[in-house]
Amino acid sequence: MDEFKRNRLALAGAGIISAMFLVAVFAPLVSPHDPFLIDTKSILYPPSPSHLFGTDDLGRDVLSRVIYSARISLLVGFVAVGISTVIGIIVGALSGYYGGWTDSLLMRVVDVMLCFPTTFLILAVIAVLGPSIWNIMIIIGLTSWMGVARLVRAEFLTLKERDFVVASKAVGARDARIIFRHVLPNAMSPVFVSAVLGVGGAILIESSLSFLGLGVQPPMPSWGNMLTSGKDNIEIAWWLSLFPGLAILVTILGYNLLGEGLQDALNPRLKD
């Protein structure tokens, strides 16, 4: 990992993500106010020493709501990417290891899934099931596994011809043992990079859905629904849009920088 340690942008990304994670975990300790507390005497106050990010149209502290929103973003990102990664690994492993008609069938399923516009598919499913954080996580996970499947398949097509796989078959090892004990650990580098980048993408999708009113529902704070409130008051309360927007920007930037750094460190073909 020396290559990663020398990459300052990757280290910056890791620092951003670590800071966001700590803020989310210790939100009750670092939050200066109750994010749900309505104060009719402090409606739309601009940033001040008592409210560093100002207050919203119900007098709630914006900084506290931004901090608590980090919990929602991390939960959605990790759960959604976990679902998509598990599905992608299983499909890609079976497709790449067995080949033949299994490969053809599974790859056609991938092709069909890729034909659907992901955003409209998510919107359609949410319109049927209703907006909730759990529906969002599951839907994002079920509609974003195709890239992982292709990555794993490509790695398996190469690794299954290696000597250690041939030796395992020669001693009578079962396919499941070969796939998950021998081949898969050697195919995880690109999957890990894809998962890191996928967390940022999942956070962006959740924020977009919440902005449209189809994601996390008030009064639960989310960067997306905070931007909706900011849009309604953009002419008189610029801080309602600025700070949640910056939180989304910085978080996704952190995951992208970390993902690129890991890709450079884990893929020797990208090294000079």
Task: Give per-residue pLDDT as tens, 199-211.
Answer: 999 999 999 988 9
Give 193-245 pLDDT, tens digit per residue: 899 999 999 999 999 988 988 888 888 899 999 998 888 888 889 999 999 99
Phi-psi region at 213: left, alpha or beta (left = phi > 0; alpha = psi -120 to 50): left
Say which amino acid occupies 11: L
Q: Which residues of 65-78 are buried (b: 16+ CB within 10 A; e: fewer)?
A: bbbbbbbbbbbbbb
> Looking at the predicted structure, is the pLDDT value of residue 22 above 90?
yes
Mean pLDDT of the chain: 88
CATH architecture of 10-17+60-270: Orthogonal Bundle (1.10)
**For residues 89 and 86, what is the distance between their CA atoms, to the nearest angstrom?**
5
> Looking at the predicted structure, is the pLDDT value of residue 103 above 80?
yes
**For residues 188 and 161, what is the distance between their CA atoms, to the nearest angstrom?**
17
Closest by CA position to 58, among listed 74, 77, 35, 79: 35
Residue range 43-54: mean pLDDT, rounded:
92
Q: What pLDDT shows up at residue 229?
A: 85
Of 18-27, 43-52, 130-139, the range with the lowest mean pLDDT is 130-139
Q: What pLDDT shows up at residue 119?
A: 78
Question: Taking the domains of the chain in order of start, what are their residue ranges?
Answer: 10-17+60-270
Q: Which residue blocks in the chain are alpha helix, DSSP H?
A: 2-6, 8-25, 27-30, 62-98, 100-115, 118-129, 133-142, 146-159, 163-170, 175-177, 188-211, 223-232, 239-266
Q: What pLDDT shows up at residue 2?
A: 65
Tell which wins on pLDDT, 68 or 189: 68
Say which amino acid occupies 12: A
Confidence of residue 128 (pLDDT cuts 50, 70, 90): confident
Whole-prediction pTM value? 0.88
Q: What pLDDT shows up at residue 272?
A: 47
Backbone angles phi, psi at 32, to 5 degrees: -75, -20
Q: What pLDDT shows up at residue 1?
A: 58
Give the percent of the chain with pLDDT over 90: 50
> Looking at the predicted structure, is the pLDDT value of residue 267 above 50?
yes
Q: What pLDDT shows up at residue 217?
A: 85
**For residues 33 and 205, what is the distance between their CA atoms, to the nearest angstrom?**
28
Confidence of residue 48 (pLDDT cuts 50, 70, 90): very high
The structure tokens listed for 162 are 């290696």
Give the percent of the chain with pLDDT over 70: 96
Q: What pLDDT shows up at residue 262?
A: 84
> Looking at the predicted structure, is the pLDDT value of residue 30 above 70?
yes
> Looking at the predicted structure, is the pLDDT value of residue 40 above 60?
yes
